[in-house]
């Protein structure tokens, strides 16, 4: 597939948003690991690995489409200071919620019948499930939202 | 709005006198009809689990209540989109009630399994539609699929 053709079918703006969310999530899980008990380390590592894989895959899609992938920000502002396990996990929930929204946008803007829709749906679903599991861990309610990723 | 209201008034008597919807709507059913019915059936199933488990298994009842609420919200949104897309056929097809829920098993383990299976099946159906539908509907079904996945994860 030529870069020109790929670019015409790929929602570059939405994908750059998803890549930005994945960069942020990778950063967040680096922060969260310093605050949570060892018992959660395996789940944290799985989440971090998943976001790194999404980040790398998204960069490849953008490059194949002839776009320059956005780089990570030099730093990120957190909605609240991260001082303990609970605030760290709330930050993880925020990162997953942001990722879900970004990937839902990719679903909405992708052409029908494309592999990209499936990839974006999988990323949205994984982020929603991780957000729900972290809510269960910190005792946040409700555990679920009816439309993950919806504005 | 005015146009839709007028059209509904004009066709109301025809519906009441038993005009069959198949004769009036030759086109295929809207692809959102099935997920809308499924959302209604799941909500009813989950609500029946709430009723049988509240006293004996409050944790399962709480999970079921959350599922019932989210699936009710899904049904409302899907019905709204169905009405927006096809005001008249949806108005007539809404007349027959949805299939009743499967009876909720009194056994908590079986009830939990039934809810998890329903959530997983709803996720699969919605995910299958995401690939083919136009953007707005694809995003709606994507969120439905993701939500059902979160319930399946909690119930598994």
d(CA B115, CA B155): 7
pLDDT over threshold 90, residue B68: yes
Burial zone of A31 (CB within 10 Å; 0-12 exposed, 13-18 middle, 19+ buried): middle
- Token pair belonging to B73: 């919200």
ipTM above 0.85, yes or no: yes
Q: Are residues A104 and B70, on separate chains, in Cβ contact within 8 Å?
A: no
The tens digit of pLDDT for each residue in A49-92 reads: 999 999 999 999 999 999 999 999 999 999 999 999 999 999 99
- Token pair belonging to B13: 């008597």
Instruction: Select from B77, B139, B147 the Cβ nearest to the Cβ of A144.
Output: B147
- Is any Cβ of chain B less than 8 angstroms from the Cβ of A140? no
Closest approach of chain A CAs to the CA of B71, in angstroms? 7
Long-range contacts (CB closer than 8 Å, 24 or more residues apart) made by B17-24? B21/B89, B21/B92, B21/B93, B21/B95, B24/B88, B24/B89, B24/B92
Number of cross-chain residue pairs from A and B with Cβ atoms under 8 Å apart: 97
Mean pLDDT for all residues in chain A: 93
Instruction: Report DSSP letters for chain B, one per residue.
Output: -HHHHHHHHHHHHHHHTT--HHHH--SPPPTTHHHHHHHHHHHHHHHHHHHHHTTT-HHHHHHHHHHHHHHHHHHHHHHHHHHHH-HHHHHHHTSSPPPPPPPPPSSHHHHHHHHHHHHHHHHHHHHHHHTTS-HHHHHHHHHHHHHHHHHHHHH-
The tens digit of pLDDT for each residue in A127-137 reads: 999 999 999 99
pLDDT at position B105 is 62
3-state secondary structure string across B20-52:
CHHHHCCCCCCCCHHHHHHHHHHHHHHHHHHHH
Token look-up 């879900």 returns A100
pLDDT over threshold 90, residue B102: no
The tens digit of pLDDT for each residue in B33-43 reads: 999 999 999 99
């Amino acid at each position: 597939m030529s870069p020109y053709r790929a670019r015409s079918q790929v929602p570059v703006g939405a994908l750059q948003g998803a890549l930005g969310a994945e960069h942020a999530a990778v950063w967040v899980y680096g922060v969260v690991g310093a605050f949570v008990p060892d018992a959660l380390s395996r789940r944290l590592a799985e989440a971090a690995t998943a976001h790194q894989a999404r980040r790398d895959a998204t960069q490849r899609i953008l490059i194949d489409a002839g776009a320059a992938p956005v780089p990570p920000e030099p730093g990120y502002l957190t909605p609240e200071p991260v001082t303990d396990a609970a605030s760290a996990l709330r930050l993880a929930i925020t990162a997953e919620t942001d990722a879900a929204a970004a990937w839902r946008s990719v679903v909405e803007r992708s052409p029908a019948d494309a592999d990209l829709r499936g990839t974006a749906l999988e990323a949205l679903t994984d982020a929603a499930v991780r957000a729900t599991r972290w809510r269960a861990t910190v005792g946040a309610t409700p555990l679920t939202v009816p439309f993950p990723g919806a504005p | 709005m005015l146009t839709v209201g007028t059209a509904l008034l004009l066709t109301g008597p025809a519906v009441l006198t038993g005009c069959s919807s198949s004769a009036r709507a030759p086109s295929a059913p809207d692809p959102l009809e099935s997920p809308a019915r499924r959302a209604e059936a799941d909500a009813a199933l989950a609500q029946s689990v709430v009723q049988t488990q509240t006293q004996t298994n409050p944790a399962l009842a709480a999970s079921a209540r959350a599922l019932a609420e989210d699936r009710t919200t899904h049904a409302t949104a899907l019905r709204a989109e169905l009405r927006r897309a096809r005001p008249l056929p949806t108005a007539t097809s809404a007349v027959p009630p949805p299939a009743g829920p499967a009876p909720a098993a009194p056994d908590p383990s079986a009830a939990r399994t039934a809810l998890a299976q329903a959530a997983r099946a709803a996720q699969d159906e919605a995910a299958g539609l995401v690939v083919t539908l136009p953007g707005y509907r694809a995003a709606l079904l994507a969120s439905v699929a993701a939500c059902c996945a979160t319930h399946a994860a909690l119930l598994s």
